[in-house]
Amino acid sequence: MLEKGQEMNSAKRREKIAFVILGLITLLIVVPIVLTIFYVVKNGASAISWEFLTQPPRHGMKEGGILPAIVGTILLIIGTMLFSLPLGILSAVYLVEYAKDNLFTRLIKLSVVNLSGIPSIVYGLFGFTLFVVFLRFGTSILAGSLTLAIMSLPVIITATKEALESVPFAFREISLSLGASRWQTVRYCVLPYAIPGILTGTVLSLSRAAGETAPILFTVAAFYLPRLPHSVFDQVMALPYHLYVISTQVPNMPAKISFATGLVLIALVFLMNLVSIILRAHYRKKKLW
């Protein structure tokens, strides 16, 4: 009995050690995030003021605020969402719910996977050639949103696909067996249960789109444009590009303004995540899973 007890103890001890090691490794993931945010807040918070958020930049961007860049980034996120959400979700619905498994669908799936591996600067060049030059949208919100939308598609499609596939097949069977059409089945018995997963993927990819510099470089971003845009064919400033500009192109730039700009961008992305978390919780509560 005693020996058995000792054995138990050593097994328990080993388990404890393993837990501690795993915990530490997990902590390593948290450390960079916390440090980054802490560093950005520490250096940038003092420059954040009402003026900073509501005024255009002045005096070679060293004074004033960053309003045009905030507005520009928000408009780009909205534009990206408008194009990529319907396209991405409907493509995924087609792939999962309708498409037969043949060469054509496999080709589409392969393209989706490969699209996500393309560097963002290549999307920028592609968007420039197609939207700015060939379709004559010019450097504009429209061209930039479309470029960012194409870049976001793979993640949205993949996330939606996985969310749809995780809905039990039985739900579809129930619905079809009651005489519902395919679309009714997707609309009432599949999509509602996939929404939390779709939201996660969408917000992830939109957050990435919000922070990208390369795709907007040639397609929409303005170096300095204090006035707010009037139409979708206008250029805008955008936070990531503005951050790049003031950090590298403007001499004697006070560091706290760069950090404050970064802080605003992080806050914006965080806000989007917050909205998705709230929506997700709402849907989970409504659906009595």
- Comparison of 42 and 282: residue with beta carbon closer to another protein: 282
Give the residue, chosen from 38, 188, 223, 270, that forms a contact with another protein under the rule CB under 8 A. 188
Pick the stretch among 52-60, 180-188, 218-226, 256-264 that binds another protein (CB under 8 A): 180-188
Check binding of 193 to another protein (CB under 8 A): yes
Pick the stretch among 37-45, 124-132, 170-178, 236-244 that binds another protein (CB under 8 A): 170-178
Check binding of 285 to another protein (CB under 8 A): no
Check binding of 99 to another protein (CB under 8 A): no
What is the nearest approach in angstroms of another protein to the Cβ of residue 182?
9
**Exposed e or buried b for every residue in 83-94, given b needs 16+ CB within 10 A?**
bbbebbbebbbe
The H-or-E segment that residue 58 falls in is strand 57-58
How far is residue 126's CA from residue 120's CA, in Å, rounded to a whole number?
Answer: 10
Q: Give 235's contacts (C-beta < 8 A, 6+ positions apart).
A: 139, 140, 141, 220, 221, 222, 225, 229
How far is residue 223's CA from residue 237's CA, in Å, rounded to a whole number?
Answer: 7
What is the nearest approach in angstroms of another protein to the Cβ of residue 156?
25
Check binding of 112 to another protein (CB under 8 A): no
Facing residues of 64 across strands?
57
Q: Which residues bind another protein (CB under 8 A)?
A: 100-101, 170-181, 184, 188-189, 193, 287-289
